[in-house]
């Protein structure tokens, strides 16, 4: 284990001058981190929650998917802005500005979120290997770990190789669902009708919170701020402003793609599997089987390949986020293989226990939703401080809007807790 010293709280203009061409070239390298973060928005938890929601509620929760992805854009922009302006990640700034007790609470809940994320990613990739090759789930989990390490190895060669590897996985996921959507075109009327907010149904709230947890993922906030904190040398506020422009473009494209894929999952499930009120939620294994039975083996193959690519790539991204969390909050770095071994243990135990992996995926996403107010609250607090952000401090409109998002997400969590407690007591 090694300890690292954090950079100064506020970074000023860096020494040295660059030619205009060199500046543009270095700023252009800001493009890419949002696509890494976007993998977190398309991990196996999204597969589980979106297909469960579409199969059991039809198009009723389309508005949740759309709203979650729209809200994700300003959230990821604030995370990127924090890293660009300060040169530090969100966990590092929490360590520098919070008291000891608050810092440990933030680290503890962030680690719980990271473990829930790892569980979803490992289970999803293992299901993908099982569907493609008939591989036992415990063995598939181990192979997933090996493949995730292989992708992480690209990070040692710099940002770009790692981003290209993750981007290739993202392209595979998108190609799989583009093909699936073309083969199973959803109902335009159903999708438009689903844009009207509706919580009717016993499990609708649970699935809605699960979708939000699977989409607005807390570890993606920590990750994006860390990726941008040491991205390129920025010579002054003019270049920072240009980098922020590129970051907005990067986020708009990446989050837009992720949103369309998430919408495709739910809409395809609603079109093919929803049979009216009382239709049970469908698991990922059953999705694959019914694709093969009703549409054809090619659609089933595209689904399984996309699920495997999602699990492997998001597992690598989750490990990178976990390092940023521990290094930032505790100023402590451990070997990647050791962290991976620790966080993959719950997933392996789950797979060996014989429990329903799809239900575990949905519940893991609900767990993630409870970490959102912590990460988003800290992000909003820091980016609203002029002593940290300078001229790039949040506007009053942005602060008010994001405060409303935190309040709404916290309210949904409390509603879910109340509903579950009522169910258990009765």
pLDDT tens-digit readout, 106-128? 998 888 887 777 777 778 888 88
> For residue 259, what are the contacts with CB-CB under 8 A and spacing of at least 6?
41, 65, 66, 69, 70, 72
DSSP calls for 66-135: HHHHHHHHHHHHHHHHHHHHHSS-HHHHHHHHS-HHHHHHHHHHHHHHHHHHHHHHHHHHHHHHHHHH--
pLDDT digits (tens, 9 = 90+) for 72-108: 889 999 999 999 888 899 999 999 999 889 999 999 8
Give the Cα separation of 340 and 115 in Å (integer): 10
Q: Cα–Cα distance between 374 and 129 in angstroms, integer?
A: 34
End-to-end CA distance of the chain: give it in Å, rounded. Answer: 49
Rounded CA-CA distance 313/396 in Å is 37
Give the rounded percent of residues in the chain with a pLDDT score beyond 70.
Answer: 78
Write down the pLDDT at residue 368. Answer: 72
Q: Whole-angstrom Cα distance, residue 256 to residue 238?
A: 27
Q: Which residues contact 230 (CB under 8 A, 6 or more apart)?
A: 87
Q: What is the pTM of this model?
A: 0.82
Q: Flag residues of the chain having pLDDT under 70.
A: 1-31, 152, 155-159, 200-203, 213-214, 231-238, 336-337, 340-341, 343-344, 351, 353-366, 413-414, 416-426
- pLDDT tens across 259-287, in order? 999 999 999 999 999 988 878 888 888 88
So what's the pLDDT on residue 1?
A: 47
Residue 381 has what pLDDT?
Answer: 93
């Amino acid at each position: 284990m090694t300890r690292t010293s954090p950079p100064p709280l506020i970074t000023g203009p860096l020494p040295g001058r660059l030619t205009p061409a060199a500046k543009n070239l270095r700023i252009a390298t800001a493009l890419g981190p949002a696509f890494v973060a976007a993998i977190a928005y398309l991990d196996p938890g999204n597969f589980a929650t979106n297909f469960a929601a579409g199969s059991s509620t039809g198009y009723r929760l389309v508005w949740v998917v759309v709203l979650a992805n729209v809200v994700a854009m300003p959230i990821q922009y604030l995370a990127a802005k924090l890293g660009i302006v300060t040169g530090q990640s969100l966990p590092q700034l929490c360590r520098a500005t919070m008291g000891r007790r608050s810092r440990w609470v933030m680290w503890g809940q962030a680690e719980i979120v990271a473990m829930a994320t790892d569980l979803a990613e490992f289970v999803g990739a293992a299901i993908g290997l099982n569907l493609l090759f008939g591989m036992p789930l415990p063995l598939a989990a181990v192979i997933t770990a090996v493949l995730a390490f292989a992708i992480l190895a690209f990070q040692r060669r710099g940002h770009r190789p790692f981003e290209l590897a993750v981007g290739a996985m993202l392209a595979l996921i998108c190609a799989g669902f583009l093909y699936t959507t073309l083969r199973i075109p959803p109902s335009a009327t159903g999708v438009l009708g689903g844009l009207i907010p509706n919580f009717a149904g016993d499990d609708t709230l649970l699935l809605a919170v699960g979708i939000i947890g699977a989409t607005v993922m807390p570890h993606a906030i920590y990750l994006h701020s860390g990726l941008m904190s040491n991205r390129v040398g920025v010579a002054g506020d003019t270049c920072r402003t240009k980098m922020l422009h590129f970051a907005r473009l990067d986020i708009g494209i990446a989050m837009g793609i992720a949103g369309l894929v998430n919408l495709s999952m739910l809409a395809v499930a609603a079109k093919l599997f929803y049979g009216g009120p009382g239709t049970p939620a469908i698991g990922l294994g059953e999705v694959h089987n019914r694709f093969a039975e009703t549409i054809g083996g090619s659609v089933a193959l595209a689904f399984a390949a996309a699920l495997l690519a999602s699990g492997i790539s998001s597992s690598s991204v989750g490990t990178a986020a976990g390092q940023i969390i521990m290094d930032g909050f505790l100023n402590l770095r451990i070997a990647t293989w050791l962290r991976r071994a620790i966080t993959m243990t719950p997933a392996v135990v789950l797979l060996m226990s014989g429990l329903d992996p799809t239900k575990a995926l949905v519940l893991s996403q609900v767990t993630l939703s409870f970490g959102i107010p912590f990460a988003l609250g800290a992000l909003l607090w820091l980016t609203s401080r002029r002593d940290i952000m300078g001229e790039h401090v949040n506007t009053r409109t942005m602060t008010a809007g994001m405060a409303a998002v935190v309040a709404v997400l916290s309210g949904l969590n409390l509603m879910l807790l109340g509903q579950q407690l009522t169910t258990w007591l009765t």
